[in-house]
Chains A and B, each alone.
Chain A
Amino acid sequence: MRGNTQTITHSQRLNIGNVLYSLWNRLGMIMILLLLCVVLSFTAPNFLDTANLLNVLKQVSIIAILAAGMTIVILTGGIDLSVGATVALSGVISVMVSSAGVNPIIAMLSGVLVGYAVGLINGFLTAKAKLPAFIVTLGSFTYVRGLAYVISGGYPIVLQNETFKFIGGGSIFGIPTPIYIMSLVYVVMFFVLKYTMFGRHIYAIGGNEEAARLTGIKVEKSLINVYSISGLLAGLGGVVLAGRLFSGQPTAGQMYELDAIAAVILGGTSLTGGKGKIIGTIIGVLIMGVISNGLTLMDVNYYWQLVVKGGVIVAAVLLDRLRGNSPA
């Protein structure tokens, strides 16, 4: 069967229009992103302004951080629905710790650690108790959000500390801090996936868990680490968001998990695991960010933006599938 698809792709490439096709074949989603940018540069006023482009990056930074963790989870063939709720819990707790007069660095770390703990529990239940990741994280999606409400009493908690605010709302050399954090996350993740044993084991497990186990890879340990990292990044996202909103909000991060998943899939990562790249994910994130931004600049109302965004996700993945790169 595999041989067949191979030959079909091959013969298609030999036909007319092969230049466009091979370009599309090689670049895929980057082409879509560039195409979107070209279209928006004509239709949306000020789209290409540096300020606007930085704004896009700042807007997507938190989803991007979550999507980096989501990428490794999906690479193992799993899913993490809890990241949005974790953003809220991490924000609430870190702001409360900060309000108690604790050093802001420690306060921020506490938020990250909360995320790590949520991920650790997810990973443990998925890897050791062998529960489906969907169910485990659907559970944490709910109880983590619940905890955020319980701890905050349902109200936003105001953030006073300036250092903490800087992490979300400040800028260095004119570039907003979240962009640095996001970039760091992606550089590290790129390195981890490509150059560490852990990273290669993620691909191996996602590609063929049985073979990985037979090969002597510690599958369970790796899976626990994967979910823990996803949680940790969600915690980091929560801290950054709290810094940007100047408050810890129990309602923060709603639907973020779905945006993160959409970005990963747009980036070409296979939902069945084993196949995908972190660079694809950042492109997926940017596609979504550019669409929202462009539509806002064009004064399209938010409701219509949702309709367009959803349509673009499906259309882009459909196009990618025609490329012979089945994402599901």
Chain B
Amino acid sequence: MAVNEMSLKGQQSLKKPVLNMEGIGKTFSSVTVLNNVRIELYPGEVHALMGENGAGKSTFMKILAGIHTPDDNGGKIYLKGQPILWKDPTDARNKGISVIHQELNLSPNLTISENILMGSTFPRNGLGMVKWDKVHERAQEVLDSMGSNLNPRQLVSTLSVAQQQMVEIARALSFNAEVLIMDEPTASLTDKEIKKLFEIIDDLKKQGVAIVYISHRMEEIFKISNRFTVLRDGEWIASGPIEETNPDHLVKLMVGRDLKDLFNRSKAFGTKNPKEVSPVLELKNVSDNTIVKNVSLKIYPGEIVGLAGLVGAGRTELVRAIFGLSELKSGEILVDGQSVRIKSSIDAIANRIAHVPESRKEQGLFLSMSVKENIIMAELKKHAKAGIVSWKQVNESANQYIEDLNIKIASPEQQVSNLSGGNQQKVVIARWLSIAPKVLLLDEPTRGVDIGAKTEIHKIVSKLADEGLAVLMISSELPEVLGVSDRILVMSEGRLTGELSKEEATQETIMRLATKGGREK
């Protein structure tokens, strides 16, 4: 593994780090998520923490914030040179580590003051009753120190997202944070609000707060950070001053996973020249009510189209809109050249669109039911006369899929919750094949699946495409996108930011498009 150690220079080397973490390792049920990761945080710096989806950034930060504890012998955390281990997040917070999570954690029906002081003891009088004037006063002080003009008595539910973010920051500061972790703080802010946030960050820097800044937006990183650390696959890759790098270099550090063990789909796919046939699925200027904006695409029978992008780019939302799970704000969906209105999953299935959702357990499986029932649940009708199910037919049909997809089970009666992730995913795929789909939407089809089953799933998908199915596959793993797709679309901030042919696509070209930012200036 290429390790680039960059010199620490300038003012940083003169100061002592307020906090450093060394050799941090974390294992979740025998899967190593972090291995020998480190970071040093100096007072008054913004430290950009970079990495692809799944690189281990959030786990790393959760350890810093006391939400997870490192493995035994999984490294050490030093606060001002002293080794320390948090008991829990409150302990970490009391010692000056605060987190602003990506999703806001405010109580909407309480006032700004209460939210800011939440978790601390409110000022009380002799009878134990809260002195509200004092509470608001204290909150006002914190808000003033940030230069915010919010009224502490206002209810949080009446605030805009950006204002809520301000409250989150105020809360973090009210604990006299010395280390502040900001996880994608600008994701839901407008340009103007971002400017305001950066002013606050500048202020915090002057006060000597060390800020860990997680963002995928390159411009931001280079605008406000002093130093950076890159993680990849749970390992520390590089750290250094921001002046010594550039966006291309950072992307190179972030990607570069090993491709060799993965399935590689051969070029010979069902449709030799997709331009000669008509698309089976076409989107024209599709926008939804959340993030998806103006997406147009065509998918032809027999091809696998990879949909790449960072988490939160709107890929899942796009697929859900196609499947009728969220409303279209504008735009049109065509199946086989016919404009269709898909208002629910039932309509989508009627148009022979199948959807393997993102999270198997929450959205895909009936965990307490048997394998065979999970497989035939979408097409129970086919095996029933006048509503009465023929278990004989069900068994035959389920057995066929179990054999075709090589699902490894003790018996078709086995409860699906006892299967491995890979086999569970095959069960979900089998269910969708039972509707004889024309379009297969796959959302992270191999998440949490071991490498062997991963390859098998890739082979299955590839074979299905060869048989004429049109596949749209979301994946956050670039090697998977590169290995399986015939063509790759990249999304960023709700928009398609590019299309790459199999030949053009590399981890770098995809990452560049994914961090491009689809925001309208």
Q: How far is the CB of B139 from chain A (nearest CB, A)?
A: 34
- CB within 8 A of B365: which of A195, A198, A211? A211
- CB within 8 A of B364: which of A201, A211, A275? A211
Q: Total interface residues on A, using CB and 8 Å?
A: 24
B346 and A208 within 8 A (CB): no
B368 and A6 within 8 A (CB): no
- CB within 8 A of A196: which of B29, B357, B387? B387
Interface locus among B19-27, B239-247, B250-258, B378-386: B378-386
Residue of B nearest to A215 (CB): B378
A208 and B417 within 8 A (CB): no
Q: Which residues of B, 355-383, contact A by the 8 Å Cβ criterion?
A: 355, 357, 362-369, 373, 377-378, 380-381
A217 interface residue (CB < 8 Å to B): yes
A214 interface residue (CB < 8 Å to B): yes
Give every chain A residue within 8 A of B426 (Cβ-Cβ): none
A214 and B369 within 8 A (CB): no
Known contacts A213-B345, A215-B377, A215-B378; A203 and B387 CB within 8 A of each other = no
Complex-state Cα separation, A214 to B366, whole angstroms: 12
A195 and B391 within 8 A (CB): yes
Complex-state Cα separation, A208 to B362, whole angstroms: 7
- Number of A-B residue pairs, CB cutoff 8 Å, is 74
- CB within 8 A of A210: which of B362, B380, B387, B435? B362
Known contacts A216-B349, A218-B346; A200 and B389 CB within 8 A of each other = yes
B363 and A210 within 8 A (CB): yes
Complex-state Cα separation, A201 to B381, whole angstroms: 11
B216 interface residue (CB < 8 Å to A): no
Complex-state Cα separation, A161 to B323, whole angstroms: 58
Give every chain A residue within 8 A of B365 (Cβ-Cβ): 208, 211
B387 and A204 within 8 A (CB): no
Known contacts A3-B29, A201-B380, A275-B368; A215 and B417 CB within 8 A of each other = no
B355 and A208 within 8 A (CB): no
Complex-state Cα separation, A204 to B323, whole angstroms: 20
Q: How far is the CB of B370 from chain A (nearest CB, A)?
A: 10
B368 and A207 within 8 A (CB): yes
The 3 A-B residue pairs whose C-beta atoms are closest, nearest first, are A207-B366, A216-B349, A215-B378
Please report A residues at the B interface, Cβ cutoff 8 Å.
2-3, 6, 195-198, 200-201, 203-204, 207-208, 210-218, 274-275
**Additional 10 contacts, C-beta under 8 A, given A207-B367, A218-B346, A274-B366:** A195-B389, A196-B388, A197-B380, A197-B387, A197-B389, A204-B377, A208-B366, A208-B367, A214-B345, A215-B431
In the assembled complex, 29 residue pairs joining A and B whose CB atoms fall closer than 8 Å, in A order, are A195-B388, A195-B389, A197-B381, A197-B384, A197-B388, A197-B389, A200-B373, A200-B377, A200-B380, A200-B389, A201-B380, A203-B366, A204-B373, A207-B366, A207-B367, A207-B369, A208-B367, A210-B363, A211-B357, A211-B363, A211-B365, A211-B366, A212-B377, A213-B345, A214-B357, A214-B363, A215-B378, A216-B346, A216-B378
